[in-house]
Chain A
Amino acid sequence: MSTAAGQAGTPAERGARDDVLVRARGLQVHFPVSSKGLRRRRTGAVRAVDGVDLDIRRGETLGLVGESGCGKSTLGNALLRLVEPTAGRVEFDGTDVTALSAKALRALRRRAVMVFQDPYASLDPRTTVGQTVAEPLQVHSLHRGTEARAARVAELLELVGLDPSVASRYPHEFSGGQRQRVGIARALAGEPDFVVCDEAIASLDVSVQAQVLNLLRDLQQRLGLTYLFVSHDLAAVRHVSDRIAVMYLGRVVEVGDAADVSARPQHPYAQALLSAVPLPDPAAERRRERIVLSGDVPSATRVPSGCRFRTRCPRAFSPCPDVDPALQEVEPAHTAACHLHGVVGVPVAAGEHTGA
């Protein structure tokens, strides 16, 4: 149950509850880039995920935020092994997922699932809602027999707040919010432990987003689910998450309790990101001071050496190009990868410097 999740408590108590369901160590996903023409020589790599250490605790919601191209979706995919990591490990409930056989991988697919962004694209328009929800049951040979399966589909539809009679209808008959409920019902069919919600509310209107957020929270409480909530919407992430991880250019640069990260971000990038979120409060908007970053995110094929944020960082100083900062504790249960809190990390080898 979610009572194990990060409610208030002393750091020691929190440590005692550290029951990690998903653990990533040195996780790396690089996509090769080839030259044009016939020879297609490999000329480099998009370093989408570039050395991520992350723990997701049983029963918690970990929010993963960052801007487009930071690698947050690829990280979510790599945790489920929907893309093959190029290096590093992912452990799911103690098992190394990166080494699983095809058969064992299928068992993982039942326990670790994804809810996709676009409910218009992720449902087959020629398949009834009932068939869509029943598909995972077939794949995993669950609730065998026509009647048992229909009963389970009805149960799942009810679970997500849809009338079981809609099973015979097609996706086009549903609104975006209802489709997303169908997507959630399908994801929950195999009774998973871990759900990656990848921008699951991004394509929905505000008032409908709230319905889906409420549903996700309700389901977590009832079924004891663990969520990775991937989103660019910081307010939504703040609302649903127990802890928040901030990503920049393939790396997690800050992790901590949701309240701490949103109130006292420690990494300069997290500070800029949070200061840029428009608040629906005119008085607060007039008071606020935005940190406006200059320039664009560098290409993930040409990651700056040392700290990858240094080319845009308003507080960059001498060690930043020379030492790749590691996550370090800046307050209890709150880590950030920034030399302002002490120079910790891997020195850049001579001649390996890249970036402006």
Chain B
Amino acid sequence: MSEPVLVVEDLRVQLDTPRGNARIVNGLSYSVAPGETVAVVGESGSGKSVSVMALLGLLPKRARVTGSARFRGRDLLTMRERELRAVRGDGVGMVFQDPMTSLNPVLTIGRQLTEGLLAHRKVSGKREARERAAQLLADVGLPDPRGALDRFPHELSGGMRQRVVIATALAGDPALLIADEATTALDVTVQAQILDLVARLQDEHRTGVVWITHDLGVVAGVADRVLVMYGGRCVEDGTVDDVFERPAHPYTQGLLGSLPQLHDGGAGGSRELVAIGGTPPPPTDLPPGCVFWPRCPVRGDERCATEQPPLTPVGPRDGAGAGSSAVPHRAATFYDAARGAGEVGS
């Protein structure tokens, strides 16, 4: 595999709040190879959005960010604002949940697209910028791209706006695309269009993608690798198949178990959803041991209550060869998660 576009090591974000010091991201490490999609999943408050905002210098100044995040070998966290701005327009594209907040409501679509192209010297002049902008809109499948250049964001539907935002993000031909709940506000049929689009563009340009979402269905469709976040920590990571087929951490198991299935059970059947009791801990008051301990139905080791379990390799499943894939499957547990949670500690 080629050199990763992004290497994040021991990323931590803390913020002083009226309720005390909030530890929002607590030691996150991962890397993204060209053409690869890494999905970061977690529920609200898990720190997944803050973790990418920290990479791009989008957090308020009083946030304390430590660790490192090397983009093409250079650490984003120590860059000056001016350098960061160049990276944001040129090397890294961003797509956020609500397209209306990413677009300026009083500027035409064309103006917003050409501005970035001109600022980052991707084109020689205004005429060429317009040409390129129309091409970008055509690439993202917007009907009548030339006409769209002269329209305002409010004249477009949600799905069309999100395409414009994606076109903006791709304008700089980025090596890395960060999508934070990019399809969450969209209807499923529009979401399907956008997911198709990103996959196609990613294939063409070998873009590395960090896809942040709470939707496990989207993850299963787009991701090569998955990182499950809870309480600001990674509790499990691995290939999308390993994590979905053999979830090892009780939180991941709970998350997958609590999903209603489209093609199974139903009201005629009797399957009760396996809900996780309780709620996530506030970042100002994280438990001393495993972050999931207060809600954990397993509690497989007495150290769980007092020590943070490290990410440890999940053993191979019975009968299967050990780690045939280059990506390790790891879970933050003290016990051998491969043996199944039920056999431990009960």
Contacts and interface: CB of A to CB of B under 8 A. Distances in A.
A262 B216 contact: no
B256 interface: yes
Given A206-B216, A292-B196, A259 B268 contact: yes
Contacts of A214: 272-273, 275
A259 B255 contact: no
B191 to A, nearest CB: 7
A9 to B, nearest CB: 10
Contacts, number: 151
B279 interface: yes
Interface stretch (B71-79, B257-265, B330-338): B257-265
B279 A175 contact: yes
A273 B217 CA distance: 14
Contact of B260 (A213, A232, A276, A281): A213
A231 to B, nearest CB: 10
Interface stretch (B9-17, B19-27, B91-99, B218-226): B218-226
B315 interface: no
B192 A206 contact: no
Contact of A279 (B43, B159, B217, B275): B217
B170 interface: no
Interface residues of B, number: 51
A272 B159 CA distance: 16
A208 B279 contact: yes
B204 interface: no
B346 interface: no
Interface in B226-255: 240-241, 244-245, 254-255
B298 interface: no
A243 B334 CA distance: 45
A210 B263 CA distance: 17
Nearest to B217: A278
A209 B279 CA distance: 12
A283 B276 CA distance: 25
A68 B271 CA distance: 29
A177 interface: yes
A147 interface: no
B295 to A, nearest CB: 9
Contacts of A206: 43, 214, 216, 255, 258-259
B280 to A, nearest CB: 8
A302 interface: no
Contacts of A283: 241, 245
A61 B250 CA distance: 32
Contacts of B160: 296
Interface of A: 5-8, 61, 67-68, 175, 177, 205-211, 213-214, 217, 232-236, 238-242, 257-259, 262-263, 272-285, 290, 292-293, 295-297
Interface of B: 43-44, 143, 157-160, 187-193, 195-196, 214-221, 223, 240-241, 244-245, 254-263, 265-268, 271-277, 279
